[in-house]
Chain A
Amino acid sequence: DAGITQSPRHKVTETGTPVTLRCHQTENHRYMYWYRQDPGHGLRLIHYSYGVKDTDKGEVSDGYSVSRSKTEDFLLTLESATSSQTSVYFCATQQGLGEQYFGPGTRLTVT
Protein backbone atom coordinates (compact mmCIF):
# COMPACT_ATOMS: atom_id res chain seq x y z
CA ASP A 1 0.00 0.00 0.00
CA ALA A 2 1.29 3.39 -1.00
CA GLY A 3 0.93 5.85 1.87
CA ILE A 4 -1.68 8.17 0.41
CA THR A 5 -3.68 10.61 2.44
CA GLN A 6 -6.32 13.05 1.29
CA SER A 7 -7.52 16.14 3.06
CA PRO A 8 -10.10 17.11 3.92
CA ARG A 9 -12.04 13.85 3.99
CA HIS A 10 -15.36 15.66 3.94
CA LYS A 11 -16.25 19.18 2.91
CA VAL A 12 -19.43 21.16 2.41
CA THR A 13 -19.09 24.43 0.55
CA GLU A 14 -21.28 26.96 -1.17
CA THR A 15 -21.63 27.57 -4.88
CA GLY A 16 -19.07 30.03 -6.15
CA THR A 17 -16.46 29.49 -3.45
CA PRO A 18 -12.96 28.21 -4.19
CA VAL A 19 -12.02 24.79 -2.86
CA THR A 20 -8.66 23.03 -2.70
CA LEU A 21 -8.26 19.33 -2.08
CA ARG A 22 -4.89 17.92 -1.11
CA CYS A 23 -3.32 14.58 -1.86
CA HIS A 24 -0.14 13.57 -0.05
CA GLN A 25 1.95 10.47 -0.72
CA THR A 26 4.96 9.06 1.08
CA GLU A 27 6.10 6.51 -1.53
CA ASN A 28 7.89 8.89 -3.91
CA HIS A 29 5.74 7.70 -6.80
CA ARG A 30 6.24 9.66 -10.00
CA TYR A 31 2.68 9.73 -11.32
CA MET A 32 -0.33 11.17 -9.50
CA TYR A 33 -3.96 11.35 -10.55
CA TRP A 34 -7.21 12.96 -9.54
CA TYR A 35 -10.48 11.14 -10.26
CA ARG A 36 -14.08 11.79 -9.43
CA GLN A 37 -16.61 9.05 -8.77
CA ASP A 38 -20.27 9.62 -9.51
CA PRO A 39 -23.20 7.20 -9.64
CA GLY A 40 -23.57 5.80 -13.12
CA HIS A 41 -20.19 7.09 -14.25
CA GLY A 42 -17.59 5.06 -12.43
CA LEU A 43 -14.18 6.70 -12.04
CA ARG A 44 -13.37 9.56 -14.38
CA LEU A 45 -9.97 11.19 -14.69
CA ILE A 46 -9.82 14.92 -13.96
CA HIS A 47 -6.10 15.74 -14.16
CA TYR A 48 -2.85 13.90 -13.77
CA SER A 49 0.80 14.61 -13.16
CA TYR A 50 3.86 12.83 -14.48
CA GLY A 51 6.34 14.76 -12.40
CA VAL A 52 6.89 17.94 -10.43
CA LYS A 53 5.32 20.84 -12.31
CA ASP A 54 4.27 18.49 -15.13
CA THR A 55 0.50 18.10 -15.35
CA ASP A 56 -2.08 17.37 -18.00
CA LYS A 57 -5.84 17.26 -18.43
CA GLY A 58 -8.05 14.23 -18.15
CA GLU A 59 -11.49 13.65 -19.60
CA VAL A 60 -13.43 15.88 -17.17
CA SER A 61 -11.01 18.74 -16.48
CA ASP A 62 -13.33 21.72 -17.03
CA GLY A 63 -13.67 23.79 -13.84
CA TYR A 64 -10.63 22.19 -12.19
CA SER A 65 -6.96 23.07 -11.97
CA VAL A 66 -4.05 21.25 -10.36
CA SER A 67 -0.60 21.95 -9.09
CA ARG A 68 2.34 19.80 -8.12
CA SER A 69 5.24 21.70 -6.61
CA LYS A 70 6.66 18.71 -4.72
CA THR A 71 6.75 15.02 -5.56
CA GLU A 72 4.63 14.16 -2.54
CA ASP A 73 1.80 16.68 -2.96
CA PHE A 74 -0.83 17.03 -5.68
CA LEU A 75 -3.47 19.73 -5.22
CA LEU A 76 -6.84 19.90 -6.94
CA THR A 77 -8.54 23.30 -7.02
CA LEU A 78 -12.09 24.16 -7.90
CA GLU A 79 -11.83 27.88 -8.66
CA SER A 80 -15.55 28.50 -8.28
CA ALA A 81 -17.43 25.46 -7.07
CA THR A 82 -20.69 24.45 -8.74
CA SER A 83 -23.32 21.93 -7.69
CA SER A 84 -22.25 19.66 -10.57
CA GLN A 85 -18.91 19.25 -8.79
CA THR A 86 -20.55 17.53 -5.84
CA SER A 87 -18.79 14.19 -5.92
CA VAL A 88 -16.32 11.88 -4.26
CA TYR A 89 -12.77 12.70 -5.28
CA PHE A 90 -9.98 10.14 -5.29
CA CYS A 91 -6.29 10.68 -5.62
CA ALA A 92 -4.09 7.89 -6.98
CA THR A 93 -0.38 7.32 -7.44
CA GLN A 94 1.64 5.10 -9.73
CA GLN A 95 5.34 4.47 -9.87
CA GLY A 96 5.76 3.01 -13.32
CA LEU A 97 3.77 0.49 -15.27
CA GLY A 98 0.75 -1.19 -13.89
CA GLU A 99 -1.49 -0.59 -10.97
CA GLN A 100 -2.41 2.68 -9.38
CA TYR A 101 -2.87 3.05 -5.64
CA PHE A 102 -5.80 5.06 -4.39
CA GLY A 103 -6.32 7.31 -1.42
CA PRO A 104 -9.35 7.11 0.86
CA GLY A 105 -11.31 9.81 -0.98
CA THR A 106 -12.80 13.23 -0.24
CA ARG A 107 -16.55 13.67 -0.22
CA LEU A 108 -17.35 17.17 -1.48
CA THR A 109 -20.81 18.69 -1.33
CA VAL A 110 -21.50 21.98 -3.08
CA THR A 111 -24.73 23.61 -1.90
Chain B
Amino acid sequence: DQQVKQNSPSLSVQEGRISILNCDYTNSMFDYFLWYKKYPAEGPTFLISISSIKDKNEDGRFTVFLNKSAKHLSLHIVPSQPGDSAVYFCAASAQGGSEKLVFGKGTKLTVNP
Protein backbone atom coordinates (compact mmCIF):
# COMPACT_ATOMS: atom_id res chain seq x y z
CA ASP B 1 0.00 0.00 0.00
CA GLN B 2 1.72 3.12 -1.23
CA GLN B 3 1.04 6.00 1.14
CA VAL B 4 2.87 8.63 -0.89
CA LYS B 5 2.39 8.59 -4.64
CA GLN B 6 4.18 10.45 -7.39
CA ASN B 7 2.24 9.34 -10.41
CA SER B 8 4.46 10.95 -13.03
CA PRO B 9 7.77 9.10 -13.39
CA SER B 10 9.13 11.84 -15.61
CA LEU B 11 8.52 15.42 -16.68
CA SER B 12 10.17 17.48 -19.39
CA VAL B 13 9.96 21.28 -19.57
CA GLN B 14 11.68 24.09 -21.42
CA GLU B 15 14.15 26.36 -19.69
CA GLY B 16 12.43 29.43 -18.30
CA ARG B 17 9.02 27.79 -18.04
CA ILE B 18 7.29 26.51 -14.92
CA SER B 19 7.83 22.97 -13.68
CA ILE B 20 5.02 21.46 -11.61
CA LEU B 21 5.68 18.22 -9.77
CA ASN B 22 2.77 16.51 -8.06
CA CYS B 23 2.42 14.26 -5.04
CA ASP B 24 -0.60 12.56 -3.46
CA TYR B 25 -0.85 10.93 -0.07
CA THR B 26 -3.36 8.61 1.52
CA ASN B 27 -2.53 8.71 5.23
CA SER B 28 -4.54 11.45 6.93
CA MET B 29 -2.09 11.43 9.85
CA PHE B 30 0.63 12.99 7.68
CA ASP B 31 1.09 16.60 8.68
CA TYR B 32 4.58 17.47 7.49
CA PHE B 33 5.77 17.25 3.90
CA LEU B 34 9.14 17.62 2.25
CA TRP B 35 10.66 17.69 -1.19
CA TYR B 36 14.12 16.35 -1.93
CA LYS B 37 16.21 16.71 -5.06
CA LYS B 38 18.63 14.02 -6.17
CA TYR B 39 21.35 14.19 -8.78
CA PRO B 40 22.88 10.99 -10.19
CA ALA B 41 25.53 9.42 -7.96
CA GLU B 42 24.72 11.78 -5.08
CA GLY B 43 22.54 11.57 -2.00
CA PRO B 44 19.18 13.34 -1.88
CA THR B 45 19.30 16.94 -0.70
CA PHE B 46 16.53 18.71 1.13
CA LEU B 47 14.75 21.33 -0.94
CA ILE B 48 11.68 22.66 0.84
CA SER B 49 9.08 21.61 3.37
CA ILE B 50 5.58 22.53 4.47
CA SER B 51 3.56 21.94 7.60
CA SER B 52 -0.12 21.14 7.42
CA ILE B 53 -0.94 24.41 9.18
CA LYS B 54 0.09 26.19 5.97
CA ASP B 55 -1.06 25.83 2.40
CA LYS B 56 1.95 27.44 0.75
CA ASN B 57 5.65 27.83 1.37
CA GLU B 58 8.13 29.66 -0.83
CA ASP B 59 11.88 29.61 -1.08
CA GLY B 60 13.25 31.53 -4.03
CA ARG B 61 12.23 29.82 -7.23
CA PHE B 62 10.61 26.94 -5.36
CA THR B 63 7.07 26.96 -3.97
CA VAL B 64 5.23 24.08 -2.39
CA PHE B 65 1.44 24.07 -2.25
CA LEU B 66 -0.57 21.83 0.05
CA ASN B 67 -4.23 20.94 -0.44
CA LYS B 68 -5.17 18.99 2.67
CA SER B 69 -8.72 18.21 1.61
CA ALA B 70 -7.45 16.62 -1.60
CA LYS B 71 -4.40 15.08 0.13
CA HIS B 72 -2.29 16.61 -2.59
CA LEU B 73 0.84 18.70 -2.72
CA SER B 74 2.77 20.17 -5.57
CA LEU B 75 6.19 21.70 -6.11
CA HIS B 76 6.45 24.62 -8.50
CA ILE B 77 9.78 25.69 -9.93
CA VAL B 78 9.77 29.08 -11.65
CA PRO B 79 11.67 29.72 -13.82
CA SER B 80 13.06 26.28 -14.52
CA GLN B 81 16.78 26.01 -15.23
CA PRO B 82 18.82 23.19 -16.76
CA GLY B 83 20.53 22.69 -13.37
CA ASP B 84 17.14 21.74 -11.94
CA SER B 85 17.26 18.51 -13.95
CA ALA B 86 17.19 15.82 -11.27
CA VAL B 87 14.92 13.29 -9.59
CA TYR B 88 12.53 14.89 -7.12
CA PHE B 89 11.18 12.92 -4.19
CA CYS B 90 8.15 13.85 -2.16
CA ALA B 91 8.15 12.69 1.47
CA ALA B 92 5.64 12.81 4.30
CA SER B 93 5.73 12.43 8.05
CA ALA B 94 3.29 12.42 10.94
CA GLN B 95 3.49 14.00 14.38
CA GLY B 96 4.79 17.30 13.07
CA GLY B 97 7.79 15.69 11.40
CA SER B 98 8.90 13.53 14.30
CA GLU B 99 7.77 10.28 12.69
CA LYS B 100 9.68 8.40 10.02
CA LEU B 101 9.61 9.81 6.52
CA VAL B 102 7.66 7.97 3.85
CA PHE B 103 8.92 8.66 0.35
CA GLY B 104 7.29 8.61 -3.03
CA LYS B 105 8.98 6.86 -5.95
CA GLY B 106 10.27 10.09 -7.45
CA THR B 107 9.77 12.13 -10.60
CA LYS B 108 12.64 12.70 -13.01
CA LEU B 109 12.62 16.31 -14.20
CA THR B 110 14.45 17.26 -17.36
CA VAL B 111 14.79 20.96 -18.17
CA ASN B 112 15.74 21.47 -21.78
CA PRO B 113 17.85 24.50 -22.79
Contacts and interface: CB of A to CB of B under 8 A. Distances in A.
B100 A48 contact: yes
Contacts of A58: 100
Interface in A1-42: 4, 33, 35, 40-42
* Chain A interface residue bracket vs B: 20 to 34
Interface residues of B, number: 22
Nearest to A41: B105
Contacts of B91: 43
A33 B101 CA distance: 10
Contacts, number: 49
B96 A97 contact: yes
Contacts of A41: 105
Interface of B: 6, 32, 34, 36, 41-46, 49, 89, 91, 96-98, 100-101, 103-106
Given A42-B103, A45-B100, A105-B43, 13 more contacts: A33-B100, A42-B105, A43-B89, A43-B91, A43-B103, A44-B103, A45-B101, A97-B96, A98-B97, A99-B46, A99-B49, A102-B44, A104-B41
